[in-house]
Structure 1
């Protein structure tokens, strides 16, 4: 497993090498242009892209991640901001970033993060995601509830659980269905509500909890 790492901090880089699993190969670059070059190489085959967001030129780094995600929409990107920022986190998750972690994350937690991201889920820590959803729910634009009325009873249940921050596995347990069925429901829900990811759906559901 190869992981491309944009990292300009030697201490954080050393820590990542200490906590990553033994079957992973970390490849370090220090400029955003080098990330593009590496990902454009058809033989690179990087499973994940780790990006350290330092305090210096933080806003520029965030914009770089947004542009990178647009260029490589299928690449799993995990950001490691030196300091957490709610508005920035919302922006990054909304464009499809797979996860956000502390730079000095522990070995077991990093392993869990990669497992969750690999399954197609978003990682920010369950408590963080729930807090983000709750704080952002009131910011949804007018007309953002379009589509909820078209959901079936089962789909409404799935949307409700997504709004609570549950994973597909936990939703499947709660509803006594398979994870594959949960994914099928989500595909239909995204289409009917014109949402593109779990966070957008959660914001929609939270903002219209009376409908649910």
Structure 2
């Protein structure tokens, strides 16, 4: 079932005309009722009038998305800014329409989003690539910092850290490296001290964030 949500009956009627051939339709004119129906029905697609969200639109949108994570949300708004549109996509909406569409175009939009596509203006694609580039750069900085920390480990400590990152137990590590389990524990204590972390879960996460997880032979360490 496709949910259509707007305070405007005229808009709901226009949308219904466009999507009624795709699926049964439920029209909703109150935000509280929409939230309940989202939780109850988990619809595949919601076509939502942005004006219905009120002044706290980002907060209300986040609540809606959390209430039914599998629902693909399309927002319709004629007066939304580029920045607001991008914030909505960052929250998790899958489409945005900023101009009146005829029924046939509404059907194409809903069908495309339902099938997993994004309905996004070309200008917003630019925002997406800029953010991707920034995120990639930040990730590289983090990996560099983590690798610098790991350089402080001895080769044996690094081997043990890698095995922790792969989910091995102390007993499994001891067996693979042919050392006593108490020796593994002693090494882990020293690893935690050097990396300023408190447990093996944090160590595993830190190791998985590095680019060298599968390249033990190329990583240099003091003996």
On whether the aligned pair clears a TM of 0.5, the verdict is yes
Deviation of 1:80 (Å): 0.6
Residue 80 of structure 2 corresponds to residue 84 of structure 1: yes
Q: Which TM-score applies when normalising by structure 1?
A: 0.56
Alignment of 1:1-212 (within 5 A): 2-41=1-40, 44=41, 46-54=43-51, 58-102=54-98, 104-125=100-121, 127-133=122-128, 137=131, 140=134, 144-146=138-140
SS in structure 1 of the partner of residue 79 of structure 2: coil
TM-score by length of 2: 0.54
Counterparts in 2 of 1:45 and 1:11: CA distance versus 1, 3 Å: same
> What SS class does the counterpart of residue 51 from structure 1 fall into?
strand
Per-residue CA deviation, residues 32-73 of structure 1 (Å, 9 max, x unaligned), is: 2111211222xx35221111012x874323321122112322
| 2: CA distance, partners of 1:75 / 1:57 | 17
Distance in 2 separating the partners of 1:120 and 1:57: 24
State the shift of 1:77 in Å.
0.9
Bigger helix fraction? 2
The question of whether the paired residues in 2 share the 8 Å contact of 1:6 and 1:29 is answered with yes
CA distance in 1, matches of 2:66, 2:43: 17
**CA distance 1:21–1:142, shift in 2 (3 Å):** closer
- Residue ranges of structure 2 left out of the alignment (5+ in a row): 144-207, 211-223
CA distance 1:84–1:132, shift in 2 (3 Å): farther
Deviations 1:119-148 (Å, cap 9, x if unpaired)?
3222123x23334336x549947952439x
Q: How many residues align?
A: 147
1:4–1:26 contact (8 Å) kept in structure 2: yes
Distance verdict in 2 for CA 1:142–1:49, change over 3 Å: closer
C-alpha contact (below 8 Å) 1:12/1:104 kept by paired residues: no
Runs of 5+ unmatched residues, structure 1: 150-190, 194-212
Distance 1:31 1:146, change over 3 A: farther
Instruction: Indicate conservation of the 8 Å contact 2:39/2:67, yes or no.
Output: no
